[in-house]
Chains A and B, each alone.
Chain A
Amino acid sequence: MATIPAYKGPFRTSEAERLLWRAGFGPRRGQAASLARLGLDGAVRSLTHPPGERWIGPRPHDDKGRPLAPADAYGHDHLWWLDRMVRTRRPLVERMTLVWHDWFATSNAGVGSQKLMLAQNRLLRRYALGSFDHLLVAITANPAMLIWLSGTDNRKDAPNENYGRELMELFTLGEGNGYTERDVREQARALTGWTSTWKHGKGQTDFRFDQKRHDTETKTVFGKQGAYSWRDSVSLCVHHKDHAPFFVRKLWSYFIPEPPDARTQAGLEELYRKEFEVRPVLEAILRHPALYSGPRMVKPPVVYIAGLLRGLNRGVDTSAWVWLSEGAGQRLFYPPNVAGWDDSRWLDTNAFRGRWYIANTALEKVSLGDRKGKKGPKVPNDPEAIVKGALAVLGNPTIRPETRSELLAFARGSLKGATGWKAESYPPLVANAVRQLLAVSPDLQTC
């Protein structure tokens, strides 16, 4: 068996921090340090074999203090999931749920039911670290997916190729890779039979497989013949020789920005092919040197937001996160299309503006200075203390020395010659500005 390299360098707070950002939503205060103490293997294992879920922190609510209604109020679905990301004790499970949401990108714009989308979300979570084979079977039969990719419109007298195509193109093999247009048509036939009942005022309900609607004739898929049904469709894809390479490349790309070297690729494929289980492949990825010594990745918007809240020790307490996240390009439950979000476009300058206002909202509760006539805490006229304070407020993230120098230079420059009334008023302004700058710095936009 090809051995997959594992990171052998020091596993300090900064490495643990990166691991927590890539495999979760960033550290809570002090979490990186305690994770570092477990060493690489212990740290990875604690993520891939997490304890039972328990929520850490205050319950979520909207701006008026009301509990969330994730199935019945627009945006509460997004807030509900964001809250899970903030309070979870199983960050890798939650992060993999997000990965699957992108992988099997289903949008409520097409489904029209937050309830069905939440049910799909639970399904994705159930299979976060488990069998990809079982996940694929379950998602094929999932009501939200059946609506989204026209599964219930696919009938033996009028086949609809939508799901059959995306099953191969996006979920298991890659565009044009190892399948033909004929395979798309034949897969569509194999997938016929799913149906639902339209109930007035309720929409599509009672999703079920109906043998009478299924095309029972022989199909030819990937050169093989058989009276294939929908489970066979899935199985044929998973066992296709091009699936494992595709799976490895795609899963890897969520965690490490540059593709794996040939030896690693081969080793991961071998690992995956054993039983099509996700956990062992993930473990190898999270222990790989490329994660620790390779280049940085831009944090997806929801990861950036959840991480800020975790670092600030703040819960979900406003609906602003819904449109702020959307402004940065990521509204949960509404991926732009079935190909998911485009990771390479998170940070064009449109999103930079979005992130500026995300940081602003995150920091609003801890902003310094007098507020509504009440005097704020005193901020010392001391640039070093101000920068140190800003770092502490955001959970002491690791930053480049040059970034620290720039923040210090800004604080010094702003406080220089701040005499008279400025001596009193400027320090809180400067402190707020340093926190804002730190939060949007390239250091904190990436991990």
Chain B
Amino acid sequence: MRWLVIVLTAALAAVAALPASAGTEGLSFVQVVEKEFTLTLSRPSVRAGNVSLELVNFGMDTHDLVVKGTMAGAKPMKFKQLDPRGRTDRTLRLTPGRYSLWCSIPGHKAKGMHATLLVKK
């Protein structure tokens, strides 16, 4: 039941998000904003392919980001730790599926710093 709700919300949001996509050259952008203790994505879903994932720390503490696909064999991709007001980005090649994102600073994920990104075909 919950799974369905998540997909549905993401699908609706994805339709709305399409006009903001930058993909004419096959590169999309997603921004991850971190604060205490939240992690929000600038868009809930993105097209598969080259995705520039950017991490911005709007909080008052150090944060980082780990991105890991939920499919079998997926390896975690870790971003470097950021001081408040820091930013960093990496371009990842993402295949379709659901990806978990979270801050790996001890205790932060438990306090709410995690989210899901849906990568669509």
Judge A-B direct contact (beta carbons within 8 Å): yes
**Residue in A69, A74, A112 whose beta carbon sits within 8 Å of that of B22 in the complex:** A69
A residues engaging B (CB < 8 A)?
Answer: 65-74, 76, 108-109, 112-115, 199-203
Which residues on the B side are within 8 Å of A201 (C-beta)?
39-41, 44, 101, 114-117
Task: Check A115 against B42 for contact (C-beta < 8 Å).
Answer: yes
Mostly, the B contact residues are: strand
**Residue in A72, A108, A200, A203 whose beta carbon sits within 8 Å of that of B29 in the complex:** A72
Given contacts A72-B30, A112-B35, is CB(A202)–CB(B87) below 8 Å? no
B54 at interface, CB cutoff 8 A = yes
Task: Check B44 against A69 for contact (C-beta < 8 Å).
Answer: no
Task: Check B87 against A72 for contact (C-beta < 8 Å).
Answer: no
Binary contact readout B48-63 vs A (1 if CB under 8 angstroms, 0 otherwise)? 0000101010100000
CB proximity to A under 8 Å, residues B18-38: 20-22, 24-25, 27-31, 33, 35, 38
Task: Check B29 against A112 for contact (C-beta < 8 Å).
Answer: no
B43 at interface, CB cutoff 8 A = yes
Which residues on the B side are within 8 Å of A73 (C-beta)?
22, 29, 31, 52, 54, 89
Task: Check B40 against A69 for contact (C-beta < 8 Å).
Answer: no
Task: Check B44 against A114 for contact (C-beta < 8 Å).
Answer: no
Which residues on the A side are within 8 Å of B24 (C-beta)?
67
Nearest chain B residue, comparing its CB with the CB of A198? B38
**Residue in B28, B40, B54, B58 whose beta carbon sits within 8 Å of that of A202 in the complex:** B40
Sample of 29 A–B contacts (CB below 8 Å): A65-B25, A66-B27, A67-B22, A67-B25, A69-B21, A69-B22, A69-B28, A70-B20, A72-B22, A72-B31, A72-B42, A73-B22, A73-B89, A76-B29, A109-B58, A112-B33, A112-B35, A113-B33, A113-B42, A114-B31, A114-B42, A115-B20, A200-B112, A200-B115, A201-B40, A201-B116, A202-B13, A202-B41, A203-B33
Given contacts A67-B22, A72-B30, A73-B29, is CB(A203)–CB(B40) below 8 Å? yes
Task: Check B44 against A202 for contact (C-beta < 8 Å).
Answer: yes
Which residues on the B side are within 8 Å of A65 (C-beta)?
25
Which residues on the A side are within 8 Å of B22 (C-beta)?
66-69, 72-73
**Residue in B9, B42, B56, B89 whose beta carbon sits within 8 Å of that of A71 in the complex:** B42
**Residue in A70, A74, A115, A199 whose beta carbon sits within 8 Å of that of B56 in the complex:** A74
- Cα(A203)–Cα(B40), bound, Å: 6
Nearest chain B residue, comparing its CB with the CB of A115? B42
- Cα(A117)–Cα(B31), bound, Å: 14
- Cα(A66)–Cα(B38), bound, Å: 30
Given contacts A113-B42, A200-B115, is CB(A69)–CB(B20) below 8 Å? yes
Which residues on the A side are within 8 Å of B20 (C-beta)?
69-72, 115
Given contacts A112-B35, A114-B42, is CB(A74)–CB(B58) below 8 Å? no
Nearest chain A residue, comparing its CB with the CB of B116? A201
Which residues on the A side are within 8 Å of B41 (C-beta)?
201-202
Say how far B116's CB is from chain A's closest CB, in angstroms.
Answer: 6
Which residues on the A side are within 8 Å of B52 (C-beta)?
73
Which residues on the A side are within 8 Å of B101 (C-beta)?
201
Which residues on the B side are within 8 Å of A115 (C-beta)?
20, 42
- Cα(A108)–Cα(B54), bound, Å: 16
CB proximity to A under 8 Å, residues B53-104: 54, 56, 58, 87, 89, 101
Given contacts A114-B31, A200-B115, is CB(A74)–CB(B54) below 8 Å? yes
- Cα(A220)–Cα(B116), bound, Å: 47
Which residues on the A side are within 8 Å of B115 (C-beta)?
200-201
Say how far A31's CB is from chain B's closest CB, in angstroms.
Answer: 31
Which residues on the A side are within 8 Å of B33 (C-beta)?
112-113, 203
Say how far B85's CB is from chain A's closest CB, in angstroms.
Answer: 8
Given contacts A69-B29, A71-B43, is CB(A203)–CB(B38) below 8 Å? yes
- Cα(A137)–Cα(B28), bound, Å: 36
Given A67-B22, A203-B40; 18 other pairs, CB 8 A cutoff = A65-B25, A68-B22, A70-B20, A71-B20, A71-B42, A72-B20, A72-B43, A73-B22, A73-B31, A73-B54, A76-B29, A112-B33, A112-B35, A114-B31, A201-B39, A201-B101, A201-B117, A203-B38
Which residues on the A side are within 8 Å of B117 (C-beta)?
201
- Cα(A26)–Cα(B113), bound, Å: 45
Which residues on the A side are within 8 Å of B89 (C-beta)?
73-74
Which residues on the A side are within 8 Å of B31 (C-beta)?
71-74, 114
Say how far A326's CB is from chain B's closest CB, in angstroms.
Answer: 11
Say how far A69's CB is from chain B's closest CB, in angstroms.
Answer: 4
Which residues on the B side are within 8 Å of A202 (C-beta)?
13, 40-41, 44
- Cα(A72)–Cα(B91), bound, Å: 13
Nearest chain A residue, comparing its CB with the CB of B27? A66
Nearest chain A residue, comparing its CB with the CB of B88? A74
Which residues on the A side are within 8 Å of B35 (C-beta)?
112
